[in-house]
Every structure is written in C-alpha cells, then in structure tokens.
Amino acid sequence: MRKRRSPVEARKALSEISREVGKGLTVTLACRAAGVSVNTYYQWKARFDEQASQDATRVRVLESENRRLKALVAELAMDKQMLQEVVQKKW
C-alpha cells in the first residue's frame, strides 16, 4: 500500500535528497535512500521547490520588461531616423 506524505514531509524529503545529491550521490540513489521514487521526487520538486517558482516568476517579469524596453528602443530609433532625414533635406 502507498504511503501518502504530507507537504511538510515531502519538503523535508526534498531537502534531504538535495543534501545527498550535493554530497555527490546520484538522484536515483538519494531517492532510494529516502524511500521515494524518482518520479515522485521530480513531481514534488516541481510542486514544492520555492526557488524554482521564484526563478520562473522573475524570468517572466524580466521578459515582459525586455519586450517593453525593446519597443521603446525601436520607437526612439524611428524618431531619430525621421529627425536625421529632416535635417538632411535642404530648405
């Protein structure tokens, strides 16, 4: 029968596995030592890993800011080009 773990227990197992992987153990061996399948580990990691979710949020924010700044630069480049054309015309 399966053992359901609470979110607190899952986070504790995640930190234990991460610690073991940091020591040089493979993910498979660290999961086996913690009594968790590799698939469950990756599901928990996707669900509970706060750093990954914070990084994803930060990437989305930076991408939107990047789009906004690119549009601004394109608009300023067009303005500059129009002004240079006006200056080059002889009156």
| pLDDT of the chain, 91 residues: tens digit per residue | 567 888 888 888 888 998 999 999 999 999 999 899 999 999 888 888 777 778 888 999 999 999 999 999 999 999 999 999 998 987 6
- Same domain assignment for residues 38 and 3: yes
For residue 33, the enclosing domain spans 1-48
Chain centroid to CA 91: 56
From the list 53, 52, 37, 41, the residue with the least C-alpha distance to 15 is: 41
Structural domain count, the chain:
2
One domain for residues 61 and 86: yes
CA dist 43 and 23 (Å) reads: 22
